[in-house]
Amino acid sequence: MNVTGLNSIEKRASLSLATVFGMRMIGLFMILPVFAIYGVGLEGYSPIWLGLAIGAYGFTQALLQIPMGILSDKFGRKPVIISGLIIFCLGSIIAAVADSVYMVVIGRAIQGMGAIASATLALAADLSREEQRPKVMATIGMFIGLSFAAAMVLGPLVAASYGLSGLFFLTAIFAFVGIFIVLFIVPNSINTAPKGDLVAAPKRVKQLIKDGNLFRLNLGVFILHLALTAMFVSLPIMLTKTGFAIGEHWRLYLPVLLISFALMVPFMIWAIKKQKEKLVFCGAIILLALSLLLLWLKHDSFYVIFTAVMLFFVAFNYLEATMPSTLSKIAPAGDKGSAMGVYSSSQFFGAFVGGLAGGAIQSAFGLASVFLFSALLILVWYVFALSMKEVKRSKSISFSVNFNDEQHAKLLADKLADMAGIVESTIVYSESVAYLKIDEKQIDMDKLRALLAN
């Protein structure tokens, strides 16, 4: 078996699951750049209902993210993913045929009920070897980033030609294609990755919420997605007021996102190479706040809006790309799935609150006030981020272990604690698995494997 690269099953799994994930995210995000304009024609339209329509999916996603992962453990990954895509398709169709903003909100909430993220990531883990799993996850992460960029371009183009209904029907088609891919292209899993790696354990969630560093990260992703969603309650309207037709908005979003990705990568490389992750992390938060303050102060100039939005996405893309990696480093060994479940729920709940708060603030104080509100919240996040501890360099891995008995498991735990290069270890006797955090510069992998094999 090839241990230096992905084998054929891993390649097929990563590309097919990334495609399913990406198409679903495109469907969720396409509404962002257009609904503030096209939703005006719907019965019951108001800024508050506009915000609810944009962010409603986040509420149901936040509620169901962890339960859907647990259900995938009980009933299988593929049945849960397919069920989620069917629910997502149903919500899309309801939104497509809606003639009132209330029905769009219901449709968006139902879309969010198809919360397949944890089940999809768990299936990707089941279909990949431990040493190749980071590459598979990175492929899925890359497609998520690309899906946002694609949605920002497709949304204005599709809505200009076919209206909101066409946009939601396209989303439903994406869901059908996703079901086909899961049924006929995604490999069937034989192995099951260790549960602690990907799927949340309800009994651990409450304890992880109290963890100081994890709390700061969860607060951060909550505010980050709150700011993103709130931005799109006002930004499309501001752009049209500068004389930029809605059907042309993609001409702003495409170069902005391309430039922001290009600018973000050197900062990421420098931060890792120089071990300045916290410095750049805090700098990105400040850049977010400054870009939003610029939109608040000078929102009547297209060129200022372009510059501010570009700066926003330089910071946003950096934070969105690096925060999950930071989470995996600070989550206790064996609890990455639970930590990621809390993190994802915080992210989606932030999107819901952002839509609701953005609509309410716009209604009470005007378009520009949304940006000031978001900037102030981001500055609160900055204060919390300053007290985050530096993250030790480590890699999370897990091994299946054949324990002779519980005493053997305790003896192994003691030996691992004394071994050079082991940052943290958790032995779960009932699951026959060892969860480890290792320092790759110090660890002797041959010695580790020999110890775990005895």
Please report the pLDDT score of residue 353 as a whole number.
Answer: 97
Q: Which residue has the tokens 């439903």?
A: 172
pLDDT at residue number 4: 61
The number of angstroms, rounded, from the C-alpha of 51 to the middle of its chain's C-alpha atoms is: 20
Would you state the pLDDT for residue 316?
Answer: 94
Q: How many CB atoms lie within 10 A of CB 406?
A: 11
Determine the distance from the C-alpha atom of residue 387 to the mean position of all C-alpha atoms in its chain, rounded to a whole number. 24
Residue 298, classified by CB atoms within 10 Å of its CB into exposed (0-12), middle (13-18) or buried (19+), is middle
Q: How far is CA 260 from CA 18, 306, 431, in A?
A: 22, 11, 44
**Distance from C-alpha of 120 to C-alpha of 81, rounded to nearest angstrom:** 7
Own/partner contacts of 65-68, CB < 8 Å, gap of 24 or more, are 65/115, 65/117, 65/118, 65/341, 65/344, 65/345, 65/348, 66/118, 66/200, 66/202, 66/205, 66/341, 66/342, 66/345, 68/115, 68/116, 68/118, 68/119
Rounded CA gap, 129 and 105, in Å? Answer: 41
pLDDT of residue 2: 45
Contact 66, 202 (CB under 8 A): yes
Q: 438: which strand partners?
A: 395, 422
In SS3 terms, the chain reads as CCCCCCCHHHHHHHHHHHHHHHHHHHHHHCCCCCHHHHHHHCECCCHHHHHHHHHHHHHHHHHHHHHHHHHHHHHCHHHHHHHHHHHHHHHHHHHHHCCEHHHHHHHHHHHHHCCCHHHHHHHHHHCCCHHHHHHHHHHHHHHHHHHHHHHHHHHHHHHHHHHHHHHHHHHHHHHHHHHHHHHHCCCCCCCCCCHHHHCCCHHHHHHHHCCHHHHHHHHHHHHHHHHHHHHHHHHHHHHHHCCCCHHHCHHHHHHHHHHHHHHHHHHHHHHHHCCCHHHHHHHHHHHHHHHHHHHHHCCCCHHHHHHHHHHHHHHHHHHHHHHHHHHHHHCCCCCHHHHHHHHHHHHHHHHHHHHHHHHHHHHHHCCCHHHHHHHHHHHHHHHHHHCCCCCCCCEEEEEECCCCCHHHHHHHHHHHHCCCCEEEEEEEHHHCEEEEEECCCCCCHHHHHHHHHC
Q: Which domains does the chain have, with CATH numbers?
A: 1-189 (1.20.1250.20), 200-391 (1.20.1250.20), 395-453 (3.30.70.100)
**Each residue's pLDDT expressed in tens, for the chain with a length of 454 residues:** 445 678 888 899 999 999 999 999 999 999 999 999 999 989 999 999 999 999 999 999 999 988 998 888 888 899 999 999 999 999 999 999 999 999 999 999 999 999 998 889 888 888 887 778 778 888 888 888 889 999 999 999 999 999 999 999 999 999 999 999 999 999 987 666 666 666 777 777 777 888 888 899 999 999 999 999 999 999 999 999 888 888 889 989 999 999 998 998 898 889 888 888 899 999 999 999 999 999 999 878 889 999 999 999 999 999 988 888 788 778 776 777 788 888 889 999 999 999 999 999 999 999 999 999 999 999 999 999 998 877 766 677 777 788 777 788 888 878 887 888 887 777 777 777 877 778 778 888 888 888 877 7
pLDDT confidence of residue 195: 64
Residues 6+ apart with CB under 8 A from 262: none
Cα separation, 138 vs 141, in Å, equals: 5
Terminal Cα-to-Cα distance of the chain (whole angstroms): 23
Q: Which residues pair with 425 in a beta bridge?
A: 436
Query: What's CA 63's distance to the chain center, in Å?
Result: 15
